Amino acid sequence: MEKSNIFIGEIIRDVMAKQEVTKAELARRMNVRPQSVDYLLTRKSIDTDTLFNVSKALDYDFALLYSIHPHQTNCDSPETKKIRKARVLVELELEQEDLLKLNLKQRINEWMK
């Protein structure tokens, strides 16, 4: 099995810089000592629990870096293809008078013809 060429400490440092998160702030979010963050940023690899905690603290899915699926979509990547079509389902709770104003039954019947 070949090893990855990912240096996770550097990548975490880059994400922190882009988000303007200090070491002290990351330590606070992760509930660890600042020295632990210093050590983390020097690591080539980290355990999965730590990766998960850093991902949550920075709201960034670092696990995608290790994906073995080449066609997986990474929404953070600038190369991500634009979505052409999306279906959005919205649930609304309307009062009786609002329903009457919308006249949905008639509109649906007309559309179905």
Concatenated DSSP letters of 4-50: P---HHHHHHHHHHHHT--HHHHHHHHTS-HHHHHHHTT-S---HHH
Q: Is residue 22 part of a domain?
A: yes
**The whole model's pTM is what?**
0.59
CATH of the domain at 15: 1.10.260.40
Number of domains in the chain: 1
pLDDT tens string 14-32: 999 999 999 999 999 999 9
Q: Is the pLDDT of residue 77 over 60?
A: no
The answer to whether residue 73 sits within a structural domain is no
Please check whether residue 111 lies inside any domain of the structure: no
- The whole domain housing 59 covers 8-66
Res. 3: pLDDT tops 70: no
Do 44 and 82 contact (CB within 8 A), yes or no? no
Is 90 contained in some domain?
Answer: no
**Does residue 76 belong to any structural domain of this protein?**
no
